[in-house]
Structure 1
Amino acid sequence: MDLVTVAAVADNGVIGADGGLPWPAIPADRRQYRARVAGHPTVLGRRTFESMRDDPPGSAQVVLSRTEREASIETAQYVTGVDDALVAVDAFEADRAYVLGGGAIYDLFQPVVTEMVLSRIPGEYAGDTHFPDWDREAWACRERIDDDGFTLERWVRD
């Protein structure tokens, strides 16, 4: 199974501020993001999940939390670590799953993801959450598409 990180990242590495995006809405990016993860299981942190509770992404949500919780949404299940998340995702027998953040979740999963799809947002923004550093030598950019207000990059582990 392919495990793919999906993130929107500003020029200075910022991905979030106060639980939201620090830049004005980019409808084309949101559309491609939602279309990409639709029908696939997703992995995300508790705070990210709670920010999307009214419209959860993907076909199922594996939510990482330091404490065990009961899911209030039928498609969601809580896990307490990366290994448990990988077991949960494997149970869906999907060909791919998506890691959706936040910053600590991206960092935890960086060693095991096989691909990254990054929306590059032009400009520098103030924020409290950053995309983790990663070894560009270990990855190859296979696709780069300029779109309306962002550039979409697809990175594959070399």
Structure 2
Amino acid sequence: MEIVSVAAVAENGVIGRDGELPWESIPVDKRQYRERVADGPVILGRRTFESMREDLPGRAQVVLSRTERSYNVATARHAADVDAALEVAASLGYPSVYVLGGGEVYELLQPHVDRMALSRVHGSYDGDSHYPEWDADEWELERETPYDRFTLEEWRRIGR
């Protein structure tokens, strides 16, 4: 199973502020993001899951949370740690799983990620959540697509 991290990241690494995006909505980015994750399961933290409850992404949601909860959503499954999240995602039988955040979830899953699809939002923003640092020597930029207000970067981990 391929693990793909998908995130919108400002030039200064910020991905969120108070559980929201710190920049004005970018509809083109939201559309490409939704299309990318639509046919597979997603791994996300509890707060990110709760912020998306009205419009859940992916075919199934693996909610990474230290505290087991009942989500009252047929497609949601709990995972207490990274190993459990990867096991649950693999059991669903899809070729790819998408990591959607928040910051701590990106950090925990980063060592396992095979590919990254990063929407590099133009500008720097104040925020309390950041995309994790990663060693550029371990990654190859496969594609870079410019859009108005962001550039989509598609990365592949070398050797995987």
DSSP-derived class of the 2:117 partner: strand
RMSD: 0.6
2:139 equivalent to 1:139 = yes
Runs of 4+ in 1 over 2 A off after TM superposition: none
Per-residue displacement from partner, 1:78-129 (whole Å, max 9, x unpaired)? 1110000011001111010100000000000000010000000010000000
Counterpart in 2 of 1:59? 59
* CA distance, structure 1, for counterparts of residue 95 and residue 148 of structure 2: 29
Aligned to 1:129: 129
Structure 1 length as normaliser, TM-score? 0.99
Amino acid in the other structure paired with 1:95? P
Q: How high is the TM-score relative to the length of structure 2?
A: 0.97
What corresponds to 1:89 in structure 2?
Answer: 89
Aligned counterpart, 1:116: 116
Which segments of 5 or more consecutive residues in structure 1 lack a partner in the other structure? Answer: none
Aligned to 2:38: 38
CA distance in 2, matches of 1:30, 1:134: 24
Distance in 2, matches of 1:102 and 1:138, equals 22
- 1:42-73 deviation per Cα after TM superposition (whole angstroms, max 9, x unaligned): 00000000000111100000001111111211
Letter in 1 for 2:58: G
Give, in whole Å, the separation in 1 of the partners of 2:35 and 2:10: 21
1:157 and 2:130 aligned = no
Q: CA deviation at 1:148?
A: 2.5
Bigger helix fraction: 2
Structure 2 unpaired stretches of 5+: none
Letter in 2 for 1:28: V
| Residue matched to 2:20 | 20
What's the % identity of the aligned pairs? 56
Report the AA paired with residue 84 of structure 1: A
